[in-house]
Structure 1
């Protein structure tokens, strides 16, 4: 992530009304903020993030219409509110002289009659204001007839409310996954991201064990590649963005000055030889630290990735997702021979004949060959499996998704399924429960015994191993319950609270909607055949028989006298 405000990238502008607006900073353009005004994009490009700017009515002598609001001025209202909060209590405040009656705001009725300024006068002040709305706030405070009856705390709240409405300020924030999640959830269309909350996004990444897999190649690790994840994302790319952020491939690298000069030479010196361009990276060519998206259409639906500098229609070759993000359709995964791109290989043209082609025909030939080779490489790699994790966020039936994706995982891989409602996940957890696994083993053993008896009753019996017909088993159990272990369902929700003396309670205006639940399990590799457990048994201590003398038999008879 860049440490300064870049050009031709998306940034978030936090307005005084606590709303967020995401804009793309195009040089030599004007950014409009509605009632708060407009400003040139060039005046914030290259500046640090998290600065608060104020839009002035009249520009400075140098042409700037923005003024940086410093921290003491920015937090003055907050400091006033905090200092007066202790004296407020339940809305009461002692008189400043100490001998007068207690001043309270219980009898204050904040109606429109207390404000002497009319709507027409306020609109005239807006048009004539040159101080970014400060004159309007001062006029509203002066024209309030009951301003002297307010306590310090209520006065601070009233002032803050008017500042948020009329002050022309904004704060520039960088784009990250948490900001996009809250932006889509509270200010845009929440069903497009399946009502995923920020805490659920973090929980999916933790239980999915999503992390950076390293930059080593297969030959250097001498083992299978690390950091390969399989994902089914119907949240518009939010889950993919979360995974890419944890894997370190979401944000483009910030180029150094030397790299920029090397990639963009200003002039070519005569006699210095031809300049060699670096080789262009091939799409979906990474072998480790990759994300493979399973989708149902011709291309995955990931529009939210454009906020992070990756556009699917025209991807940037320098972006890490250009090589680390791969896509495979369900048709290519389940029945690759039915996919025309994968199955129909373009004919190979000899070099001698290719040299006679025109430029357009030659480029078309190379484009078809490269598309077929890319489809062959990505599909064959996906069907080979050995993925380190599976994350599913879809409205489809989870059973149908896991039936084809679970066999592609390696041992001890994490499986995470998100659903806005709990009913699909409870059914999924029941299919992988211990009683279902036991019933599966018993039913499979019965079918094997039946096939063995049927083979022994035949006259031409052979000693070869008979493969039982498991059609009845597949009809009774839609998925193999022995492939996942320890299924759990959980959720998490952060509820904001109002913390005031004597008035501490959850915020009553919080957002409702779906609760959201997460299914988690671990991929296991069932053994082939019977399980034999051998170990050291517990040694029991042997106690030897001790010969004790029989005192009754050895002693002489004694006659008892009465």
Structure 2
């Protein structure tokens, strides 16, 4: 059976249309030539800076599928073609150990800087270095590829966009600052979700001192249906930076995620906030009326969340905290349903208790 080029191109076009695309306001992961991954915010009509690589217009990325390779050219982005096997050079190189000192690399730093300032493309600089490298032809294929990649990491202004899936975001944070996420690796996180049996429509408790990594993973699994109640240290709703990295729709988070701090999760807690009800004759301005209305909404939200916690019957508890885990479990286990799962992560093989 033969396949026409028309049908092949049509299939490829349809596949590209089904790929996740970058939208305004998205946080996007980008891999630089040296292998480092950064997170950038893509807002419409803005300029995005990617470290030493430079800047580009954000609109260039909006609407494009994740996974493409780009090169910056005067704040514009050029899509780079995928490298094919045919582009790999063939050679009779030996396994001889080659010294890459200055005596085989006559292109000086001043000459390289002059080329960069004159607008010469990175590939041209690398090509000239290769041409003037006395022993380049003696290198093995592995050494040649390693040499090129090292030079590309140094001079290239290219990057690859990475879709911020839970695995990719967890891997990004683990390499960036693993202490911020309690040393949770992507494989560990997947095991935690499986053991807690997180599903859409469920009701779950979480203690997340991992920058929102656990909360983000649960929210993604729930798909906007159910209840996730987190208990934390902060007086206001916690800032979960990992949740922001996931680009979850606002309504998907707001309809599911609720939070209390340890004080408000106490049964005998008494609010010490300013009164929410004030006699009408004491209201002196619209600004005061607006402030009272917001205060009342916040108070009602707090009381409703407390009632939901005390109502219990939660299906699982997930913990990734700096605190001693047995105290957390003793505090929250009364609110779990029968046969509920309890999953506790610790970066230590043995958790000490006092």
2:143 to 137, 151, 154: 154
Distance 1:369 1:28, change over 3 A: closer
In the alignment, structure 1 residue 232 sits paired with structure 2 residue 240: no
Structure with larger Rg? 1
Query: How far apart are 1:394 and its partner, in Å?
Result: 0.5
Deviation at 1:140, TM superposition (A): 0.7
Residue 409 of structure 1 pairs with residue 336 of structure 2? yes
Q: Deviations over 1:471-504 (max 9, x none)?
A: xxxxxxx9xxxxxxxxxxxxxxxxxxxxxxxxxx
| Conserved 8 A contact 2:170-2:213 | yes
Stretches of structure 2 that go unaligned for 5 or more consecutive residues are 1-17
- 1-structure distance, mates of 2:142, 2:263: 64
Residue from 96, 110, 113 that aligns with 1:123: 113
Instruction: Write out aligned runs for 1:18-417 (5 A).
Output: 18-56=35-73, 65-71=76-82, 74-75=83-84, 80=88, 104-131=94-121, 133-186=122-175, 188-213=176-201, 227-249=202-224, 289-299=226-236, 300-309=238-247, 318-341=250-273, 346-347=276-277, 353=280, 358-417=285-344
Q: Deviations over 1:203-240 (max 9, x none)?
A: 11111111112xxxxxxxxxxxxx01000000010110
Residues 96, 139 of structure 2: 8 Å contact kept: no
Work out the CA distance in 1 between the residues paired with 2:141 and 2:26: 43
Question: Structure 1 residues 197, 107: closer, same or farther in 2, change over 3 A?
Answer: closer
Please state how far the C-alpha of 1:355 moved relative to its aligned partner.
11
Report the CA distance between 1:122 and its aligned residue.
1.1
Check whether the contact 2:53–2:157 (CA below 8 A) recurs between aligned residues.
yes
SS at match of 1:5: coil
Asked if the contact 1:13/1:170 (under 8 Å) is kept, the reply is yes
**Per-residue deviation, 1:54:** 1.6
Q: Matches of 1:156 and 1:363 in 2, distance apart?
A: 64
Counterpart of 1:16? 33
Q: Distance in 1 between matches of 2:244 and 2:170?
A: 14
Does the CA contact (< 8 Å) of 2:40 and 2:50 recur in 1? no
Deviation per residue, 1:350-393 (Å, 9 max, x gap): xxx47986422322332232222211111011011100100011
1:99 corresponds to? none
1:422 to 338, 349, 353: 349
Which has more helix, going by share of residues?
A: 2
Counterparts of 1:106 and 1:146 in 2: how far apart (Å)? 10
How many pairs are equivalent?
Answer: 336
Rounded Cα–Cα distance in structure 1 between residues aligned with 2:298 and 2:149: 58
| Equivalent-residue separation in structure 2 for 1:356 and 1:297 (angstroms) | 31
Aligned partners of 1:242 and 1:298: how far apart in 2? 23
1:331 touches 1:338 (CA, 8 Å); kept in 2? no
Structure 2 SS opposite 1:159: helix
Using the alignment, how far apart are the partners of 1:356 and 1:233 within structure 2? 40
SS of the aligned residue for 2:221 comes to helix
**Offset of residue 36 of structure 1:** 2.4
Partner Cα distance (1:337, 1:185) in 2: 37
Structure 2 partner of 1:280: none
Show CA shifts across 1:120-161 (max 9, x none). Answer: 111111122343x11111101101001122233322332233
Q: Cα deviation per residue 1:441-490 (whole Å; 9 max; x = unaligned)?
A: xxxxxxxxxxxxxxxxxxxxxxxxxxxxxxxxxxxxx9xxxxxxxxxxxx
Task: With the length of structure 2 as denominator, give the TM-score of the two structures.
Answer: 0.86
- Distance in 2 (CA, whole Å) between partners of 1:155 and 1:110 is 12
CA distance in structure 2 between the aligned counterparts of 1:30 and 1:367, rounded to whole angstroms = 35
Unpaired runs of 5+ residues, structure 1, are: 58-63, 85-92, 96-102, 214-226, 250-287, 311-315, 428-477, 479-562
- What is the TM-score normalised by the length of structure 1? 0.55
Q: In 2, Cα distance between the equivalents of 1:114 and 1:356? A: 83
Tell me if structure 2 keeps the 8 A contact 1:234–1:301. no
Distance in 1, Cα, partners of 2:145 & 2:247: 41
Structure of higher RCO (CA pairs closer than 8 Å, 6+ residues apart): 2
Relative distance call for 1:320 and 1:2 in structure 2 (3 A) is: farther
Assess, with a 3 A threshold, how the Cα gap between structure 1 residues 145 and 345 changes in structure 2: closer, same or farther. same
- Provide closer, same or farther for how the CA distance between residues 401 and 113 of structure 1 changes in structure 2, counting only shifts above 3 A: same
CA distance in 1, matches of 2:318, 2:226: 15
How many angstroms does 1:246 deviate by? 1.0
Is contact 1:56–1:130 with CA below 8 Å preserved after alignment? no
Q: CA RMSD in A?
A: 2.8
Residue pair 1:129, 1:135 contacting (<8 A) in 2 also: no
Q: Supply the distance in 1 between the matched residues of 2:51 and 2:234 (Cα, whole angstroms).
A: 38
